[in-house]
Amino acid sequence: MKTPLKRLPIAVLLALLAAMGLAAGWRLLRQPPLPDGLIQANGRIEGDHYLVAGKMPGRVAELFAREGDTVQKDQVLLRLDAAQVDARLEQARQAVIVLDAQLKAAQTGLAMLRKDAPLSVQTAAAGEALARSQRATALANAAQATRDATRFKRLAESGTVDRHRYEQMELASLVAQNQADAAQNGVTRAEKQLAQARLGLERIRVREDEVAALAAQRDQVRAALAEAQSVRDDLNLKSPAAGVITTRMADVGEVIAPGAPLFDIVDLDRLYLKVFIPANEIGQVRLGLSARIHTDAFPDEPLAATVRQIASQAQFTPKEVQTPDERVKLVYAVKLYLEANPQHRATPGLPADAVIRWKEDVPWVKPQW
């Protein structure tokens, strides 16, 4: 008589469990399916990742962002030690200043030479032409004076003219010859002045070569300055896009190698929900279809999305799907990209349900799980 009394609670417990199971199954059977034209699925929200790595090696001097921080495009995340680069940068700046001054002085001298040299040549050439003309006149005068002196000498010897007249002509001949000699000396001086002026034209070409060499040297130093500035800029690691830092792999004082990943950033304006559609339903899904994404935090504020990617090959349902019977089905991965993310309320890793509409005239409904 004692045994039935001990077994009674177990029987009652089994009966209660059976009744609960029947009730749950009845509710499940009564739950209406989605209308034809809608497909529901679930998954986790993911995003486009940006892996930030530095081009230059160095020691981390300052850190401006950590995990969970929201960053903007081109925001400085980390700064490497720049002492050596700053020294080279300052040296290049000073060299550019010196070469700029030297080049400016050389260009000024060249401009003056270009202005004065041709005028000097023109003036010297005119002086030489005048000297040659004066020499020709003086030589003609001297020849005439010599002929006159010779004639008057014969006349004086024959007694036709007095000797005083002859002596005047002889003196005039000597004066004319002296003038001819002076004119020849003037031509010689004019030729030297012209040759000197023409050397000025040669100096223009030499000075042009000097200016070109200084300009090339200045440009080379400027290129070195630009390279040093580029290296200096690369020591400041900036965010390639707006988003949230999900992973940080460096800290102040650490020495990093070039190309080493330092930050992982997710773009909150380029999020998508990755879902898995069974093989018997994938035929209705196509690129460009509209979808609605529902989250537990905002169940009455679905996010609009669009089918942007459909896997070309089927796979078994991933392990993160809840029920064992669903995990043995063949499914296709589909990415639903959010059209907008107001207030960035959707974040990577957030579980969400989706409804894909493949018939335009079917009204939207909430997922029914």
3-state secondary structure 302-365: CEEEEEEEECCCCEECCCCCCCHHHHCCEEEEEEEEECCCHHHCCCCCCEEEEEEECCCCCCCC
Q: Where are the alpha helices (DSSP H) in the chain?
A: 2-30, 83-158, 163-234, 324-327
> Do 61 and 82 touch, CB atoms closer than 8 A?
yes
Residue 5: pLDDT band (50, 70, 90) is very low
Give the DSSP H/E element, type plus range, for residue 76: strand 76-80
pLDDT tens digit sequence for 104-115: 998 888 888 777
Q: In this predicted model, which residue has the larger pLDDT, 43 or 15?
A: 43
How much is the pLDDT for 40?
A: 92
Mean of the pLDDT values across residues 273-289?
92
pLDDT tens digit sequence for 184-214: 888 788 778 777 767 767 777 888 888 899 8
**Percent of residues in the chain assigned helix, strand, coil, to nearest 5:** 50, 25, 25
Residue 174's SS3 state is: helix
How much is the pLDDT for 6?
A: 47
Residue 60 has pLDDT above 50, yes or no: yes
Residue 25 has pLDDT above 60, yes or no: no
> Do 256 and 57 touch, CB atoms closer than 8 A?
yes
Residue in the structure block whose two tokens are 């030499």: 206
Rounded-to-integer distance, Cα 39 and Cα 254, Å: 51
Residue 122: pLDDT band (50, 70, 90) is confident
Q: What token pair was written down for 247?
A: 């992973």
Residue in the structure block whose two tokens are 């930030």: 52
Residue 172 has pLDDT above 60, yes or no: yes
How much is the pLDDT for 336?
A: 96
Domains of the chain: 33-70+245-357 (2.40.30.170), 85-233 (1.10.287.620)
DSSP 368: -
Residue 246 has pLDDT above 80, yes or no: yes
Number of other CB atoms surrounding residue 121 within 10 Å:
19
Residue 2 has pLDDT above 50, yes or no: no
Please list, residue by residue across 221-234, b when 16 or more beta carbons sit within 10 angstroms of its beta carbon and e when fewer do.
Answer: bbebbeebeebbeb
How much is the pLDDT for 48?
A: 85
- Which has the closest alpha carbon to 226: 100, 76, 93? 93
pTM: 0.53
Residue in the structure block whose two tokens are 């003309």: 133
Rounded-to-integer distance, Cα 150 and Cα 275, Å: 131
Identity of residue 208: E
Total residues belonging to the chain: 369
How much is the pLDDT for 353?
A: 93
pLDDT tens digit sequence for 27-47: 444 445 788 999 999 999 998
Q: In this predicted model, which residue has the larger pLDDT, 218 or 33?
A: 218
Mean of the pLDDT values across residues 64-80?
91
